[in-house]
Structures are given as structure tokens and as C-alpha cells.
Amino acid sequence: MKTLFWPCILFLFLNVVVAHAEVDPHSYAEPSRVSMTALDLDIEVDFPTKKLLATADLSLAWHDADARSLVLDTRDLDIESVKAVDAQGREQDADFSLDPRDPIFGSALRIALKDQVPNVRIRYRTSPEASGLQWMSPQQTASKKQPFMFSQSQAIHARSWIPLQDTPSVRFTYTAHVKAPKPLRVVMSADNDVKHRLDGDYRFVMKQPIPSYLLAIAVGELDVRVTGPRTAVFAEPSVIAAAAKELEDTEKMIEATEKLYGPYRWERYDILILPASFPFGGMENPRLTFATPTILAGDKSLVGLIAHELAHSWSGNLVTNASAEHMWMNEGFTTYVENRIVEELYGKEVATMQLVVDDQELLVEMQGMTPEQQLLVTDLDGIDPDEGLSGVPYDKGRWFLRFLESRYGRDVFDPFLRAYFDHFAFQSITSTEFLEFYSENLEKKHLGKVSSAEIDAWLHLPGIPSNAPVAHSARFDAVDKAAADFIAGNLAAKDIQAKDWVTLEWLRFINALPETPEIAQIKALDDAWNLSNSGNGEIAFRWYVATVRAGYTDARPQIAAFIERIGRRKLVVPIYEELARTPDGKAFAIEVYARAKPGYHPMTQGSVEKVLGL
């Protein structure tokens, strides 16, 4: 098997690349002419200058007999040299130029070649302001002893730390040699050795082909705990025990997903708990999910996020959208699979509550969107894909798959999804390719279940179609009654029977509050339930938004502490948005942001500064 693996993967990869004629609007690359098949990195991590000093060797497959140039994506890279490397390993200088910098897409690196060489070697340095890297001082970490650095390549930030074809339509294997200060551990989206000595010299292999946005690296004071036969958790020393306990069900999650959708094909599934500045809840880097510490609630109530990132091992990492315009194929499928994992491990009642909350919040979010922003298949030409993300690809995408499940039944739909993951494994595809597979393997075998018009409405029309299945939670009936009675003044805050509520019930209650709550009611809730001091990030950020809308300034110290400590965009940007609606709130937000900014990832900084008009 080992001797056949590499050539089989390469053969599959070459055929996939040639098959894609669709142009990715977010990449300068020309993969229909020449494409990457492998990447070999040699990196020195330089904390004093906040730079990576690196060499990238790109293995190439040529598809156009007339092509003699290679176009790569870069952003703010200092290119020192480019060498053409022939089949015998001989190097020759290659002419190159960098296009003027585009604020969204960076600069095309254009390499002129005399022959169709199998490799190019690029020596370069990253910028201290690289959008895909965050450099943290010791003071910004939990222990305050050592510096920390981590990457975030999605959507198009890999180009800020590696010159490459930065499009999900291109998949490649990679190896890396990384040197870092000896007290620190290096981990990557590859084969991490949990027993590796902290000797400052690390080597990695990723033998499954991945798209560029799944390239990941982190360097810091990291401890490790094994949590299962193929799982481990990496985290800062002060966090590792809590993280390992919270994530002890990871192996069970893998087994539950395998039972539904086939074998896990990435060998290990480890998790890295990053510092609180990480801008996302999680990032599905293969073999090593990056996760926010805000999921460590102490009661496993937020580990659905890990179910989501694990689900990406089938949807997204294994079968990938060919461009960001088909993001629903990554996130919609993954959010659907996430809910099925939650149901398998924690029961249908919890999974249904999750559906109800997510559906409700999506409908509220869509009220502020243009019709074009509500489409599953989108046109993002000229638009930063970071700004194109919303609840639509995630929750409307999931809702579409629930619709198909409701029509065909799980006994039919589950085998179809498993066959889909098998058929397109390690490929990047478009919505059209999904629909062709759906037509042959589901629609034509079960005629009359779903019409073409219904499919078109889900994918190409705004809103949620009227035929969408509606989730209902009996436990939420009691929450809704308590909320209605409280809002009407018929139930005192202290008399709400919420002592045993789980996170989802609190989310449902807070979401039921009026758009502009009465300040007296907000104060009463806080006095009774101490919500301003909640240690649960999902509850806290929704509560802080409600306090701002009510004008309840007593919560401002807790708000300031929250947004200074946490850099996760989902949790902090809505708070800044609400504060910015009034002059007094905006002044407070700007004051707090000035303190918080050094600890924020560049992506979070950009989002907040856009909200605050800075």
C-alpha cells in the first residue's frame, strides 16, 4: 500500500487540476497551464524581527505545451531569489517580477522560465505585518514567559507567508523543515510527533494533498496530552489540563463520524488550543485543528465546535470547494455533519436545540443582507473572501441538506453522502459537479422526491424556501414561555426556573429579549443570574450586546475585560457594532480597542477598525 500511495495520489491530483476550467477570482495563478503538486519548505522562525526566513521548493506539473511562465500569489513577501531547477537538480537563476500590490489580493509573482522545469526554488522573507501570521510577545500569552506565533491561512492569507498558487482548486502534498528557539515547540498541519524533543529542529510531512488555505504553523510554549489512540491536545501549560479534560470525547466523535460517512483518512486528529487572540472559533487544519480557548467552558457545552472542525475532515479537507464562491460546499456540509455528530454523542434533544438556535439566528442575520448575499452559490469577484463569510454558507447550506434528508430519508441520504465523500476524496469541486453527482446518484434513482425548481431555489434564490423543514425543541417551549412572561412583567427574573439550563437554553432566552430591552429588566436579570460575569463566551457576547442595546452601562467593565482578553471575531465584533451605534458607546469602544489592539490578530484588527471607522 505504501509503495502505491504516492503515485496514485499524484495521478488523481493531476487529473483533478486539468478538469477545472473555472477561474478562481481570488487568485492570480494559472493552474490550467501549470500547477503545483508538492511543496517543500525550509523555515527559520525569527521572533526578534517577526519574520520567517524561508525557502520554498515548488514541484510543478505542466498542462500547456506552450507555457513558459509561472504565476504565483504573494502578499508583502520580500523575494530574494528565484531558481529554476531541472530534473538533475541543477539550478539556474530565473527572471521574476512582482506586480503592484492590490489591497485585497496582494501581488502576482511572475516567473519567466526558459524550459518547463520540474521545480522552482524561491528564497524569501515574510513581512512583520503578514496578514496570515500573528506574532505575540510573552506578555500576550498565558504564562507570559515565551513569545508565540501562529498562522491563519484561510481564506487567502497563505500567500502572505508562502509564495504559491493560493487557490483551493489546487491541491498538493508538502514537507517542511522548521528551526525555532529551543524552548518552544513547533506544530504544523502535518504529522506532529507528540514525543518530539524541544530541540528547535522539526521536520514535517503531509502526504495527503491539501489546498493552500490548510497550510498551518504554530510556535510557542506548548505542552501536550494524549487523549486517545489517534488524538492529542496541544496547549499552553496553564491550559493543557482543562483542555484535555474538555476534549476527552474526541475519539468518540471520530468513531461516530466514521460510522456515518466512512473512514477517517488523515491518520491522526490532534487539537491545538491557541491563545485567546485567535480570530476564529476553530480552523480545520488537517491533522491539527486550531481552536479558540473560548470553547473551554468546563462542561463540554461548547465542544460542538470541535465536532464542526472534525467534520471538515470529510467535508472541506477531503472534498473541497474549488473557490470561495462555492463555500457552502465546505461549510454547509460540515455544519450538517457537525449536527449529526452532536446527535450521535449527546442525543437528539441537544442536536435539535442547536438547530433551532442556529436557524433563528440565521433568519435574523439575513434580514440585514442584500438578496445577493443570501445566495448559496455566490459571485465574489473583486470581494475579499473574508468579508464574504456569513451564516449563509454555514446554516443555509446545512438547512438545504436537511431539506434533502427530509425528502429522501436518512436511510437513503446517509449512504449518498458517504458515496459523495468517497467519490470526490482529495478533490476540489464546484457546485455544478456536486449537482451532477446528486442527479446521477440520488435524483434519478428516486424520481419525484425533489424537483429541479426546488434545488434551484435553495442554491440560486435569496431567503429560505417555504419547504424548509422546521426544527422544534420541546425544551425551548418552557424557555419561550419564561421569556414571554418575563418580558410582559409577569415573571420576576429571580423566579425564572433556569438553574439547570444548558448553554443553548440561555442562548434561546437571550435571543428572545426585545431588540431594545428595558434597562430595569436587564439589571434584574444580571442581579439574579450574574450574566455579566458569565465564563461562557457564547452566552457572554450575546448578553453584552443586549446590555448595550438597553443602555445598561453597569456591564461595561466586564465588556472591556472580555474584548481585551478575547480576539475571536464572532464574539467581539458584534459588541463593537452595537457600541458604535451611539457617540458615547463608540468613544468607549475606541478607548477599549486601543488597549486590546496589540493582542488582536490582524484579521480581527481589520474587522474592528472597519466597524469603528478607524
User: Do 568 and 109 contact (CB within 8 A), yes or no?
Assistant: no
Task: Return the C-alpha cell found at 422.
Answer: 468517497
- Which position has the higher pLDDT, 599 or 283? 283
pLDDT in tens, 200-258: 999 999 999 999 999 999 999 999 999 999 999 999 999 999 999 999 999 999 999 99
Gap between the terminal Cα atoms of the chain: 56
Report pLDDT for 8: 36
Report pLDDT for 166: 98
Q: What is the C-alpha R_g of the chain?
A: 24
User: Do 145 and 138 contact (CB within 8 A), yes or no?
Assistant: yes
Domain 319-460 has CATH 1.10.390.10: yes
Confidence of residue 403 (pLDDT cuts 50, 70, 90): very high
- pLDDT of residue 1 exceeding 80, the answer is no
pLDDT in tens, 247-271: 999 999 999 999 999 999 999 999 9
Q: Is 394 a catalytic residue?
A: yes
Report pLDDT for 301: 86
- Average pLDDT of the residues in 150-158: 96
> What's the CATH number of domain 2-137+146-216, 1.20.120.450, 2.60.40.1730, 1.10.3720.10, 3.10.580.10?
2.60.40.1730
Confidence of residue 96 (pLDDT cuts 50, 70, 90): very high
pLDDT > 70 fraction of the chain, expressed in percent and rounded: 96
Sign of the torsion angle spanned by Cα atoms 16, 18, 23, 27: positive
Report pLDDT for 33: 98
Report pLDDT for 6: 31
Helix, strand or coil, per DSSP, at residue 480: helix
Confidence of residue 113 (pLDDT cuts 50, 70, 90): very high
110 phi/psi in degrees, rounded to 5 = -105, 120
Average pLDDT, whole number, for the chain?
94
Report pLDDT for 389: 83
Q: Which of 174, 261, 269, 394 is catalytic?
A: 394
- Average pLDDT of the residues in 115-143: 95
- pLDDT of residue 159 exceeding 90, the answer is yes
Q: Could you tell me the strand order of the sheet in which 223-228 lies?
A: 223-228, 231-235, 269-273, 288-291, 282-283
Class of the domain covering 475-612: mainly alpha
Distance, CA of 120 to CA of 83 (rounded, Å): 6
Report pLDDT for 412: 98
Confidence of residue 2 (pLDDT cuts 50, 70, 90): very low
- pLDDT of residue 17 exceeding 80, the answer is no
- Average pLDDT of the residues in 560-572: 95
Report pLDDT for 300: 87
Report pLDDT for 585: 98
In the chain, domain spans: 2-137+146-216, 319-460, 475-612
- Average pLDDT of the residues in 450-477: 97
Report pLDDT for 602: 86
pLDDT in tens, 160-192: 999 999 999 999 999 999 999 999 999 999 999
Q: Is 518 a catalytic residue?
A: no
pLDDT in tens, 30-65: 999 999 999 999 999 999 999 999 999 999 999 999
Task: Return the C-alpha cell found at 502.
Answer: 444548558
- Average pLDDT of the residues in 13-18: 40
Distance, CA of 479 to CA of 497 (rounded, Å): 9
- Average pLDDT of the residues in 512-539: 97
Q: Which of 30, 246, 309, 405 is catalytic?
A: 309
Bridge-based pairing of strands 107-112 and 172-179 is unpaired
